[in-house]
Copies of this chain bind each other. A is one copy, B any other.
Amino acid sequence: MYGYFNGTILPVEQMAVGVTDLSLLRGYGLFDYFRTYNGRPFQWDWYWERFTNSAAKLHMSLPIEKDEAYQVVMELLEKSGGIDMSFRFILTGGYSLDSITVSQPNLLFMAEELPPHNPNQYETGIKVILDEYVREMAEVKTTDYKRVILLAQAIRAARAVDILYHKDGEISELSRSNFFILKGNRLITPNRNILHGITRRTVLHLAEADFEVEERPVLLSELYDADEAFTTSTTKKVLPITQIGDFTIADGKPGERTKYLLEQFEELVNNW
């Protein structure tokens, strides 16, 4: 696996960040994460747009242009010997003399193996547990994921695979993916206190033809008459959720409409 650090391409295992970096000292960093299909970055324009937006929200400027970043990605892909793989972009506050002031951000790209595919999860659906929490600056892809790491034991103890955040009776998102429910032909997904996922955006586009799409605040109480639920992310695609804490969605089996949306998504990426 190869990576890129402030202009230099080198093996990921040789990449290291000096200890005065503000991501280490002060948690000041952001990232993005995307994958390739058939050797091409999926939804590159949208991922790049989000990455630059995150940087702007954290008052940092990117030391690379979009076209050059694309060339670097293609070079890392080739050097790393992959066709379908994932990439992580990280922008940190950079090295700080006084341990608090941003000067020159550090930019890293890393090629990564795709996480192992788990076909069983698509057949049975997954279980998540509820957590009363809203991510700070949820709309920005900062590196702040303390909460889900803190709850790792609780998730395992519940035989779940992730958490679903809610606050003041309103659902937002899973720890690293978006949330949808279906009621009949209505496809409903929260529109605030969330990271606006690229897979979410892709699925909403795909769904327009066949579903009545509602992007709006979603109440916890709406789970009780949901017919189906699923989550979307770069690596999960469209993954059915069948249990939320002790509550079972409908008959506890992945829904037909969820499967249909996954098929639509698979068709899109297979032809990417």
**Measuring CB to CB, which residues of chain A are less than 8 angstroms from any residue of chain B?**
3, 5, 12-13, 15-29, 31, 58-59, 88, 90, 92-93, 98-102, 108, 110, 112, 115, 136-137, 142-146, 148-150, 152-153, 176
Contacts and interface: CB of A to CB of B under 8 A. Distances in A.
B23 A23 contact: yes
The secondary structure that dominates the A interface is mixed
A68 B246 CA distance: 47
A92 B59 CA distance: 25
A27 B18 contact: no
Contact of A17 (B16, B102, B144): B16
Nearest to A102: B149
Contacts of A137: 146
A152 to B, nearest CB: 7
A14 to B, nearest CB: 9
B153 A59 contact: yes
Given A88-B99, A100-B148, 11 more contacts: A16-B19, A23-B27, A24-B90, A25-B90, A27-B144, A28-B145, A28-B146, A28-B149, A59-B152, A98-B115, A144-B146
A146 to B, nearest CB: 6
B17 A146 contact: no
Contact of A23 (B5, B24, B59, B112): B24
Contacts of A100: 145, 148-149, 152, 176
B22 A18 contact: no
Q: Which 4 A-B pairs give the minimum distances between C-beta atoms?
A: A16-B16, A27-B27, A26-B145, A27-B143
A27 B142 contact: yes
Contacts of A20: 12
Contacts of A148: 100
A140 to B, nearest CB: 10
Contact of A143 (B3, B25, B108): B25
24 contacts: A19-B108, A19-B110, A23-B27, A24-B24, A24-B143, A25-B88, A25-B90, A25-B143, A26-B143, A26-B144, A26-B149, A27-B29, A27-B144, A27-B146, A28-B145, A58-B150, A59-B150, A100-B149, A100-B152, A101-B149, A101-B152, A102-B149, A136-B146, A137-B146
A247 to B, nearest CB: 25
A31 B99 CA distance: 12
A110 B16 CA distance: 17
